[in-house]
Structure 1
Amino acid sequence: MSMPRHERLPAYRVLSHLLVMVAVAVVLGVVVAGLAIPFAGVAGLGARNVAKTMDSLPEELDTQDLSQRTTILDANGNRLASIYDENRITVPLKGISRTMVKALVAIEDYRFYQHGALDLKGTLRALVTNQANSGVVQGGSSITQQLVKLTLLDQAGNNKVKRAEATADTYARKLKELRYAIALEQTHSKDWILERYLNTAYFGDGAYGVQAAAKHYFNVNAKDLTLRQSALLAGLVKNPYGYDPTKFPDKALERRDVVLDRMAQLNVIGQDKADKNKDKDLGLDVQEVDNGCLNSRAPFFCDYVLAYLMQDEQLGATRRARLNLIKNGGLTIQTTIDMNAQADADAAVADHVGKKDPAIGALAIVEPGTGAVKALAQSRPMGNKSKQGETYVNFTIPKEYGGANGFQPGSTFKAFTLATAIDQGIPLTQAFNSPSPMTFDQADFANCPGEGTFGGPYVANNSTGTGTFNMYSGTRNSINTYFLQLEEMTGVCAPYELAKKMGVRLTDPKAERYPSFTLGIADASPLEMAEAYATFAARGLHCDSRPVTQITDSDGNVLKSYDPTCTQVMQQSTADAVSDVLRGVLQSGGFAAAQALGVPAAGKTGTTNEQKAVWFVGYTPHLAAAATIAGITPAGQPDTLVGKTIDGTYIYEASGSGFAAPIWGDALRPLTANGPYDDFVYPTGVEGVGVTSVPQPPPPRPGGRGGRGGGGRGGR
């Protein structure tokens, strides 16, 4: 049974093109411009066999969305970084200058709007012209045919086998390309094909598509390309590398002039105009578009953005799918980074820790009430670790995003016990005699329900004083034995769980949830600590850290919004009381008084056991920041800071107030200088608020039996 006419029609059209090509081959005895099917291969084919062969080929070319570069923006909409496999920005035909369109058509396929998929007349003319000029002056393939080849190469990606198939000089490949070209002409307009070609073509030096090329070579948009600029770009598509103006300016100039002469020959422009432009230089204004985070103004923040998005399953079912979308989807990623805050953070860290020092200095700044990450800075710049003073490890963020393990935060963890005690109704006037050393029986500390009990002796020391203290004075002086006694009242479980709710990634209770938890034995990153303390600034409202606010696709449509994710994790009065206590650390007599700002602020120092890391975590009502300096060996292992020279200063004794707090102060001082003068809310309904004096000490408590210990050294 014969096929219906509408099903046979494509094969007949293909056959007519093949017969024309055969005729050309017969007359000339050659393969015309590499397009015609070799005569020897076609001569033995009957028309019926050719039609059958064509019918077996796919009818349409799968024109998927073109790969486009993704742009990461700062909070003010300025470009922070670009991510791409191919540096391309697609634009509509109306967004490309008519001069550029005319230049390309003139040199590549001047009869584009008059012929179908194959231009026999143009092919013959190209052959004669090229032979007369002893080289390739005019293209022989139609723009449609070129688009097919470019598309097949693009779809092949880095697959060597598929790329070889897309460029093989075989009968099958040429038949396939011709079939696709005819299908494109049947299903798409000439303008669509031309627009697609201009956005697909490679223009050399990493620029794909005319818009990227215009910005790269001339720093203009495609719609604003001038005649000489258009002629240069139009000439590049024939040999993007050989005519690359950044590598071979003389050859590029020669090729540009060929295009100008061709335009004059076709009366697209006058010869006088062509000659006038030929007298001009290339007029380059090369703009580099770095790929990735390495050369970004905030490389580690950029790194965090990518890691954050790679965990978002709404952007793709697999990591590979998410990476493909980010690198090729033409996205615009709006982030939270404040470049003023970033500059201040970078300067503050660099002023206190050298990039080649045997330590890491790091700082994270977060906005309370939104979780917006404003800045991430560290002392070692992004780069190959084989170069001294460089690293690809992001020490500012949690390990789950590809960061380091973090560092023990020391006495900054005491704030979690403080908040728990206040939330449980323990008055701020609660006093304990706090000697040093002091032996604790860990069986006296309640664990989480069903998790068993602690046991054994634990001997704790104070490095910042002894005596009787309440919550105000015990915090201001960072008394270890005071907070261990307070934790006996609260139990270990409650402050541990509160820290998790406030953003600290605690994942191993068997190693972290011990009485010494309050002394900061669990590792944490600066971002985690800034996020946690931002909860106090926001009056108990915890907001997950987020570096991104919105993603739009290549057409400007919102793909996803990242709104604040917040939960009230403690009473407002509890957070207010914590702020009232912690502000004493920055007031006269407090360890960090030297870092007082021009606006109300609160915070806590921290120094770990063996002085391997020092911390200061503090906040205002509008900003929270965590600064740390941590000793590190050449192999990347934690190491004591004592005996090291950091930023030219030999360290005899390390402290959070003396080393980490100045980073915090130097970063926040300029950021808050012109900001609003808002105070913390004074706590109401909290027993003992404002009572900083300590009553007569109770009788000394006896030492207990003992158990597992470790942890912080104190909090100066």
Structure 2
Amino acid sequence: MGVVRASARLAVIVVVAAVVLAAMTFPFVGGVGLLAAQISASENGLTPELQAGDAPAVTTVTDSTGKPIAYLYDQFRVPVPSAEIAPAMKASIIAIEDRRFFEHGGVDPVGTARALVNDANGGATQGGSTLTQQYVKNYELYVAATTDAERQDAVAPSLARKLREAELAVQLDHQLSKDEILARYLNLVYFGHGAYGVDAAAQAYFGTTSAALTVPQAALLAGMVQSPTAFDPVQHPDAAKTRRDVVIEQLRLQGAISAADAAASTAAPLGVVARPAVPGQGCTAAGAAGYFCAYVQQYLDQAGLTSQQLRGGGYTIRTTLDPNAMAAAKAAVDAHVPPSAPHVADVLAFVTPGADAHNVTALAANRTYGNAPGQSSYGLPFVPENLGAGSVYKIFTAATALQEGVAGIDTVIDVPPSGYLSPIYKDASGHPFPVRNAEEGLAPQLTLTDALAQSPNTAFVKLEESTGVAPVVDMAQRLGMTSLGDPVSNAPGAPSIADRVRAEAQASFTLGVSPTSDLELANVGATLASHGVWCPPTPITSVTDRTGALVPITQPACTQAVDPGLADTLLNGLSHDVAPGGTAAAAAAAAGWNRPIASKTGTTQTSQSGAFVGATPQLAGAAILFDDSASPRPICYGSPPYSCGTGTLFGGETPAQTFFQAATKVLGNAPILPLPPVDPRYQAVRH
């Protein structure tokens, strides 16, 4: 390294000597004393980052088939190895920017002195900088600089900066091959229209790759680096062609192409696309997959890979998104509630059951993901909505009753009449508050299976008297409602939602009044369909870095949330919801549903929201319809549902219809599998 440093200093001294000569002949700012200070200031060596040469690169998010669904970046750059850059591109940039590139040692003293003399004498500005020096400057501008002030310093016309560039360029020339320097430069430089690096430029202007660039295409791009604005082929086609033809002529003069090739290239049209552009940035450009993309970012951020890292890291993120499931889910939510429908959000999530992973295959909302009026960038299908999911939460009370031996799935339980005053169901003052059913005339007793299908509120509050509230909350969290562990507010020391429900013994928990994530609800179905194994709902198959190496992603391990026999029994017990008399029977029949399914509907008291969760051995999902406005109102069922004074919506209507329309298409010709049988241990009371 000492030899390298000495060579670098020698080269810089040569440059400085040329500058001093110019200063003596053509006086301009500064003097020998100032130069000495600037020489001293230039003694900073190469940073590890500049030596490595990594530039910000776009992260590509793909679906399960490998098709891109989103690009995350601050600078759209797709670095490629030297072998994937067309020889015509390399020759063009050398011809117009640094014809002595293969002869000098990183700095061209003669060219630099000539440029400085011309500049000082008031002549036309000449670059004088080699490609290696330009690479250093562009690296400082596009990579090292993080503030506007630093970016201004990176291009400031100061002698100190020029000296530092020169020294670093010589050091790089000693450490890297010419081919590596050239590839780094072409991967770094800006070509306009959002395209950083030659491969991005090839895509943006010609719809091709850097490897396939022709001579006229390469010459156009090479000519643009001097000023992407002045030589923009769309805004200034004549200037761009003139500049391109200058590059072509230089190629001919330097023997890179024949006279015939030069003539043909000069005669060729510019050939750029009508509207050069790079792919849109972020999840707002992901179309129907916008919410899924947002969940991917949230998931990776929690796993330790931040959004900032993603936007420059050049990762490839292969997700679990099934394009067919996504298309079916989006079509279903939009069909039942148009994206422009005021106040009413319709969301749907699909998760595949499994003992090793619960893969998220689709997340959809009728709202378009974005920041424009009428759109939403809130995580509607996965962030908890505050209105609740209604009677779906009776699943957790039933599971707790099975676990504690309070009831078996065939146990006949009491169904008190509407208006029942339970000793644990109280108002804010602590007085018993009447529990009401959505329907009158229910049988005074039902099996737990039939109670799940007909969903009387009084029966489950009565059951909760035996199980206690806290165990039901515990069960909900274990089966998948993990956001119940979130704090109730942002106040320091605020308790979690679950802790508050436990502390206050809120018997209304079984009626589904707590904030609910649609994705978590779908994952509850996946947990039951996985014989009681809970896994985090994951959207990721793999993450690889720019070298292709796998990046480990930390996530919670799968756990046996409940006994397999309990999960199987409850899954079987939830199968009557689509049978005649069940709350989802009409929606299932209308969709032509012909598979065994465990399901449950739910509606909040004022119909501000309604929910449906369903699970088969191959697919679990949940749909929630809710008022997503700042001041929620009741929702009336209709085509489409709408805000109204007194709500009429039920979970067995639009939410169930949304689910069945999509799930029918997702499962398609997949085998029809039975639900697991009831485990005799959970069939009757075990006391």
Contact 1:549 1:563 in 2 (8 A): no
**Conservation of the 8 A alpha-carbon contact between 1:543 and 1:567:** yes
Please list every run of 5 or more consecutive structure 1 residues that lacks an aligned counterpart in the other structure. 30-37, 316-321, 400-404, 446-453, 690-716
Alignment of 1:151-550 (within 5 A): 151-285=139-273, 286=276, 288-297=278-287, 298-313=289-304, 315=305, 322-357=306-341, 358-369=343-354, 370-384=357-371, 387=373, 389-399=374-384, 405-425=385-405, 426-442=407-423, 456-465=431-440, 466-467=442-443, 468-504=445-481, 505-506=483-484, 507-509=496-498, 511-513=500-502, 514-550=506-542
d(CA) in 1 for partners of 2:186 and 2:616?
Answer: 53
Q: Report the AA paired with residue 640 of structure 1.
A: P
Q: Deviations over 1:251-298 (max 9, x none)?
A: 222211111111111111112211111211122244531111112031
Matches within 5 A, 1:17-36: 17-23=15-21, 29=26
2:493 maps to which residue?
A: none
Gaps of 5+ in 2: 485-495
One-letter amino acid of the counterpart of residue 410, structure 1: G
Please, which of 626, 630, 639 is the counterpart of residue 630 of structure 1? 626
Code of the residue aligned with 2:633 in structure 1: it is D
1:224 Cα deviation from its structure 2 partner: 1.6
CA RMSD of aligned residues (A): 3.0
- Map of 1:641 onto structure 2: 635
Q: CA deviation at 1:45?
A: 4.7
SS in 1 for 2:551: strand
- Cα deviation for residue 408 of structure 1 reads 0.9
- The CA deviation string for residues 384-436 of structure 1, in whole angstroms up to 9 with x for no partner, is 36x2x22222211135xxxxx44311100001111121223322232233232
What is the match of residue 669 of structure 1?
664
Structure 2 residue aligned with 1:95, among 76, 84, 109?
84
Q: Name the SS of the counterpart of 2:659 in structure 1.
A: helix
Q: What's the counterpart of residue 611 of structure 2?
A: 615
Q: How far apart are the structure 2 equivalents of 1:439 and 1:620?
A: 35
Contact (CA 8 Å) 2:637, 2:654: kept in 1 or not?
Answer: no
Q: Aligned in 2, Cα 1:485/1:103: closer, same or farther, shift over 3 Å? A: same
Q: How many residues align?
A: 648
3-state SS in 1 of match to 2:180: helix
Using a 3 Å threshold, how does the CA distance of structure 1 residues 122 and 266 change in structure 2: closer, same or farther?
A: farther
Q: How far did 1:380 drift?
A: 1.5
1:351 is paired with a residue of what secondary structure? helix
Q: What is the identity, as a one-letter code, of the residue corresponding to 1:329?
A: G
CA distance in 2, matches of 1:432, 1:98: 80
> Aligned ranges for residues 97-136 of structure 1 at < 5 Å?
97-122=86-111
Evaluate the alpha carbon distance shift between residue 12 and residue 51 of structure 1 in structure 2; reply closer, same or farther with a 3 A threshold.
Answer: farther
Distance 1:563 1:307 in 2: 12
Measure how far apart 1:159 and its partner are: 1.5
Structure 1 residues 637 and 397, CA, compared in 2 at 3 Å: closer, same or farther? farther
Q: What is the TM-score of this pair, normalised by structure 1? A: 0.84
1:680 alignment counterpart: 675
1:9 to partner: Cα distance? 5.6
- 1:54 shift after superposition: 3.8
Paired AA for residue 662 in structure 2: A
> How far apart in 2 are the matches of 1:7 and 1:558?
37
Instruction: Tell me the TM-score normalised to structure 2 length.
Output: 0.88
Give the CA deviation at 1:381. 1.1
Amino acid corresponding to residue 342 of structure 1 in structure 2? M
Residues 484-516 of structure 1 show CA distances to partners (whole Å, capped at 9, x for unaligned) of 222222222222101001221213246534222
* Shift, 1:547, TM fit: 1.3
Counterpart CA distance in 1 for 2:238 and 2:361 is 47
Contact 2:612 2:655 in 1 (8 A): yes
Percent identity over paired residues: 35
How far apart, in 1, do the equivalents of 2:4 and 2:82 lie? 32
Contact 1:398 1:406 in 2 (8 A): no
Alignment of 1:648-659 (within 5 A): 653-659=648-654
Asked whether the 8 Å contact 2:191–2:221 carries over to 1, the reply is: yes
Task: Judge conservation of contact 1:598–1:673 (CA < 8 Å) in 2.
Answer: no
Structure 1 range deviating more: 77-86 or 264-273: 264-273
What's the CA shift string for 1:191-222, capped at 9, x where partnerless?
A: 22212111111111111111111122122221
Residues in 1 aligned to 2:3 and 2:653: alpha-carbon distance in whole angstroms: 88
Give, in whole Å, the separation in 2 of the partners of 1:555 and 1:5: 32
Q: What residue identity is the alignment partner of 1:376? A: L
Amino acid at match of 2:470: C
Q: Residue 22 of structure 1 aligns to which amino acid in structure 2?
A: V
Give, in angstroms, the shift of residue 598 of structure 1. Answer: 3.0
Residue 171 of structure 1: CA displacement? 2.5
1:575 maps onto 2:562 in alignment: no
CA distance in 1, matches of 2:396, 2:111: 79
Matching residue's letter, 1:379:
N
